[in-house]
Amino acid sequence: MASWTRRVDLIADFVCRLLNHMKLIGAKKVTPALRPEDKDMPLLPWIDPENFNPGYLMRAMHLLPKRGDKPEWQHTQDYWREKDTFPAIDLDDPAFVYDGFEQLRHARVWRSSRPI
């Protein structure tokens, strides 16, 4: 299986985990946001042109979102590098801003502490 196919599976697993987390806390949307310690982080092109540089992306690079210089804000397209990182992402990290999260914090604690 090609590494790009494995990466699709990796991202799909992350999205399912994120959606399940959102359901658990009652959030209808999530938005990535810079944490206070990331606010002055230099912004880089969405992909590293030294690593991946097809012409169609290079011509549209100015239209694509930016990435930060810290590992958690990188877009490497490298399954072997991210296979351990994606499953370890903390969905309660301040970088994830959930709609309705604060109002449901107590409900989440109650739900998670109930015996099954």
Closest CA to 73 of 87, 56, 85: 85
The pLDDT value given to residue 49: 82
The pLDDT value given to residue 109: 46
pLDDT in tens, 64-98: 888 899 988 887 778 888 899 999 999 999 999 99
Closest CA to 45 of 58, 32, 31, 55: 58
Q: Give the integer Cα–Cα distance in Å for 61 and 8.
A: 22
Cα 19 to Cα 1, 53, 83, 113, distances in angstroms: 26, 32, 19, 20
The pLDDT value given to residue 2: 65
Radius of gyration of the chain (CA): 17
Domains held by the chain: number: 1
Q: Are 69 and 44 in contact (CB under 8 A)?
A: yes
Q: pTM for this structure?
A: 0.71
Residue in the structure block whose two tokens are 């998670």 = 112
pLDDT in tens, 13-68: 999 999 999 999 999 999 999 889 998 999 998 888 887 788 888 899 999 888 89
The pLDDT value given to residue 54: 87
User: Domain range spanning residue 41?
Assistant: 3-113
